[in-house]
Amino acid sequence: MNTIESKLHDLLVSKLTTLGYDLVSIRYLKENNENYLKITVDKDDDISLDEIVYLSDLISPILDVSDVIRDKYILDISSLGAEKEIKLDRLDKYVNKYLNIHLSHPYKGENNIIGTLIKIDKTNVTMKVQEKSRFKEIILERKYIDKVHLAIKF
């Protein structure tokens, strides 16, 4: 993180945290002869386009008053997206969400389990998954979960 990015991080992190958002990254860069300030945010739920607009309207005046960036730039605020990776220590926030779980030890020969998180405790995760035309609940051991992403249900 360069000096501008570091100053902006310090300027924005507490405000965003107060509103329930995580400041994932700040990048100030030049692309195609234009300066861009790219800010990525996250929270333990979906982030709508309306929220991105709200955050842009909130952050823009803060940046103007701070005058950390003196050159002209384009402000680009985004989220981690619809299939973002979920930190394992925050998995309990995603009960009733549709997830893609990657396992280090396969469950019935499968390393990827896609379904709805039903329940979570210290040692196990219960998922509702679809097999052919039926739904069933399966229990996975937490210690074998490598990565988790939000999934899109088609």
What is the C-alpha separation between 113 and 107, in angstroms, rounded? 8
What is the C-alpha separation between 33 and 122, in angstroms, rounded? 51
CATH 2.30.30.180 corresponds to the domain 85-150: yes
pLDDT for the residue numbered 19? 95
Contact 73, 67 (CB under 8 A): no
> Hey, what are 20's tokens?
């329930």
> Hey, what are 47's tokens?
């982030």
Q: Could you report the per-residue pLDDT of 90-135, keeping only the tens digit for each?
A: 999 999 999 999 999 999 999 999 999 999 999 999 999 998 899 9
Give pTM, 2 decimals: 0.77
Band of the pLDDT at 153, cuts 50, 70, 90?
confident
What is the C-alpha separation between 81 and 45, in angstroms, rounded? 11
Return the H-helix or E-strand segment holding 26.
strand 22-31
DSSP-derived letter for residue 94 is G
pLDDT at 1 over 80: no
What is the C-alpha separation between 12 and 81, in angstroms, rounded? 21
What is the C-alpha separation between 149 and 152, in angstroms, rounded? 10
Query: Please, which residues bridge with residue 134 across strands?
Result: 131
Domain map (residue ranges) of the chain: 3-79, 85-150
Query: What architecture is the 3-79 domain classified under in CATH?
Result: 2-Layer Sandwich (3.30)
Handedness of CA 74, 79, 82, 88 (dihedral sign): positive
